[in-house]
Structure 1
Amino acid sequence: MRIVAPACTPDREHVARGVEVLTSWGLQVELGEHVFDQWGYMAGRDADRAADLNSALRDPGVRAVFAAMGGKGTYRIVAGLDVEAARHDPKPVVGFSDITHLHLALWNQCRLAGLHGPYPNPSDEGAVWAESLRRALMTTDPIVLHQDADEATAEVTVEGTATGVLIGGNLDAVRTEAGAGLPSLEGAILFLEHQKGTGLGEVDRALTQLARSGSLDGLRWVALGQFLGFEDIASDPTQGGWEITDVLRDHLARLGVPVLGGLPIGHGRYPSMPLGTQATLDTAAGTLTVEPAVC
C-alpha cells in the first residue's frame, strides 16, 4: 500500500506511527515522493500531489492508497485523476473529510468503491482506530454501524428501511462537487457528516445548494454521521433557539425519505466504512450495514 498527500502536509511523527501499525499487520508500506512537501497550506504543488496519487493508482504492486491528511486541496486535483488506471486496476482509497472529493470522483467516473476511514495516525482512538480499519481493509465482512443516541443527529431520524449504494462523506466536499463531480444520487443512500468550525448558516447554505442544483433529485434515504461544533449554539440569541438538528430536520423533511441519524462516524470518531457499495439502512434496528469495498 502507499501513503500519498492529496491535500495538506501531514505530521511526520503521525505518519511514522501509522506506518508502524500498518506494517505490524504484514503490509508493505511506501510513501509517495511528495508526502511531506509544502506549498502554501497544501502538500506541494497540484501537479506533484496529483502525480503521487496517479502513480499509486497505476502501480500494480499497490493494493490500497492511503491519504496522509485531509484539510484543503484535494478538490484542485480531482480533474487530473488517471481514471483509466483506476478502472483497469481497482484499489480502495482510504480517507475522509477533504478526501471525499476523491471518493466521489472515483465512484462517478469508474465505480470504484473506497473507505471513509482515518488517516495513518493511531494516536486517535488507539486500538479502535486500528481494529476498525484492519477489518474494513483486510476482511470481506460487512461493516455494521449502530446509532448512538448521544450523537446530536440521532434526533433527526425518520422511520423506514432502505437498500442502495452508499455515497457521500463530508458535507462541504459533497456541496463543492455539486454540478461537477457529484454522481447521481438516484436511488442512493446519501451519507453526510460535518466538521467543526462553521455555523448553522453554512450547513444551511450547503444543503440549499444541493437541493437547488438538483443533486438530491431521486435520493431516497439519508444516513447522518457526526455534525460537530454546535453543542452550545442554542444559547446564542442570534440563532433564535435553533440547533443543528433544526437545520437538518428542516431540509431533510422536505425530501420525504427515511433518515437514520446518530451514526458515530465523522470528525470526532474514526471507524472505517465503505463508500460506493450496497448498504442497508434500518431505523428500527438503528443500523447501517455496508457491504465491503474489498474482495
Structure 2
Amino acid sequence: MRKLPKRLKKGDTVGIIAPSSPPNQENLQKALPFLEELGLKIKLGKSVDAAHGYLAGTDDERLADLHAMFEDPEVSGIICAGGGYGAARYADRIDYAMIMENPKVFWGYSDITFLHTAIGEYAEMVTFHGPMLASDVGKPEFHERSGRMFGQLFEPFELHYTEEVAPLETIVGGIAQGELVGGNLSLIRSAVGTKFDLDVKGKILLIEDIDEEPYEVDEILNQLRLARKFEEAAGIVIGDFKNASPKKRKPSLTLDQVFNDYFGDLKIPVVKGFKIGHCEPHFSVPLGALARLDGDAKTLTILPGVE
C-alpha cells in the first residue's frame, strides 16, 4: 500500500512548479485565482518563469524547485503549471527518501507521468493525475466538472466513474481490482527498460495521449505488448486520445481497430472512453490508490487519495 498524503485545508499553501517545459505565463496568471477560490495560498517555484530552450530552466533549476517544495514545511501540496517535455531528464537524481519523509499532494499529468511513476515506485506515495494550471485551468474551455475534481484533495472520498460522465465502451468484460497506475502512453513507453519502467503486475493500467495518430499508438502498444505489460496487468482503463486522427499515414486503421487488435483477446477487463487526459472535462484520479474496474457494468471506482 502506498502512503497517502495529508488532505489539504483552507489556508494551506501550495507550491507551483514547472517540471518540464516553460508554461504559458498568461494562462498561468489566469489560473491562480482558481486556487485562491479554493482557499489556498500560492508559492511560485523559481523556474516557473524560466526558459532554457524547450525547458523551464536547466535540469538543476527544475530539480531544485521540486526538492524545495517537498522540503518546505509551509508547503502542503505541489501543483504543476504544465507539462511538455523534460521531467525524465533528472528523475535519476531526485531524492526519493526525502519525498518519502515529506509526503504531500503532488498533482499533474502528461509529461508529469514520468514523475508519477518514479515517485510512486521509489517514494511509495499516491500522486494525482489531474489538470494543470497553465495547460488547462487558465484556459477559457476549462470545465466546471474539471474544477470540482480538486475537491478530492480536501476530503477523502471514493471516486465513482460511470457513463453519467461520458459514454464508455467495453472491449473485454469482467472485474479487476488493484492499484491504478499509468498515465500518458508515450511517457510509459519512454521508461521501458529503465529503472523507472512502470510496474503493472496485478494493477489497473491507465493510458491516455495526445497528437498520436493510429500508427503511432499502434507502435507504442506493440512495444508494451512485447514488454509483456498487458499480460501482467489486471485491467486496462483507456482514457482520452486527443487529435488521434490519421494525418501522415493514409489510408489508416482507426484508433478503435488498433485498440481491438491489442486488447480484444485479453482475459482482463478493458474499457475505453474515459474522460481522463488532454480533454474537457478532465476526470482527475489518484495514481497508486486502490481501484475496481467493472467491464460489465462499465464503472471505475477508486478509493480516496488523501488521508
TM-score, length-normalised on structure 1?
0.91
Which has the larger helix fraction? 1
Q: How does 1:1-295 map to 2 (within 5 A)?
A: 1-120=14-133, 121-123=137-139, 124-133=141-150, 135-147=151-163, 154-155=168-169, 157-180=171-194, 181-196=196-211, 198-231=212-245, 233=246, 237-239=250-252, 242-269=253-280, 270-295=282-307
Give the distance between the partners of 2:32 and 2:301, measured in 1 at CA: 29
Distance in 2 between residues matched to 1:71 and 1:271, nearest whole Å: 20
Distance 2:163 2:273 in 1: 5
The size of the alignment, in residue pairs, is 287
* 1:83–1:149 distance in 2 versus 1, CA, 3 Å: closer
SS at match of 1:255: coil
Q: Is the 8 A contact 1:116 1:275 kept in 2?
A: yes
How far the C-alpha of 1:284 sits from its partner, in A, is 2.6
**Cα RMSD for the two superposed structures:** 2.0
The alpha carbon displacement at 1:92 in A equals 2.2
Tell me the distance in 2 between the aligned counterparts of 1:18 and 1:149.
Answer: 24
1:134-179, Cα deviation, whole Å (9 max, x unpaired)? x12111011222247976xx44521111111000001001111112
Unaligned 5+ segments in structure 2 are 1-13
One-letter amino acid of the structure 1 residue matched with residue 109 of structure 2? F
Is the 2:16–2:79 Cα contact (8 Å) retained in structure 1?
yes
Unaligned runs of 5+ in 1: none
40-49 or 14-23, larger mean C-alpha shift: 14-23
Distance in 1 (alpha carbons) for counterparts of 2:250 and 2:62: 44
Question: Partners in 1 of 2:155 and 2:166 — Cα distance?
Answer: 29
Q: Displacement of 1:238 after TM fit?
A: 2.3
Q: Distance in 2 between matches of 1:70 and 1:148?
A: 29
**Aligned 8 A contact 1:148 1:262 in 2:** no
Bigger mean CA deviation after superposition, 11-20 or 217-226: 11-20
Q: For 1:184-224, what per-residue CA distance to the aligned partner results, in whole angstroms no more than 9, with x for missing partners?
A: 2111000001112x222211111111122234442121011
Select between 170-179 and 261-270 the one with higher mean Cα deviation. Answer: 261-270
Output the amino acid matched with 1:140: P
**Which residue type is aligned with residue 302 of structure 2?**
V
Question: Matches of 2:164 and 2:255 in 1, distance apart?
Answer: 16
- How far apart, CA to CA, are the structure 2 residues paired with 1:149 and 1:49? 36
CA distance in 2, matches of 1:90, 1:146: 30
Q: Which amino acid aligns with 2:77?
A: A
Please tell me the residue identity of whatever aligns with 1:71: G
Q: CA deviation at 1:128?
A: 2.3
The amino acid that maps onto 1:192 is: I
4+ residue runs of structure 1 moved beyond 3 angstroms?
147-151, 214-217
CA contact (8 A) 2:172 2:266 kept: no
Distance between the aligned counterparts of 1:160 and 1:149, measured in 2?
21
Structure 2 SS opposite 1:157: strand
SS at match of 2:41: coil
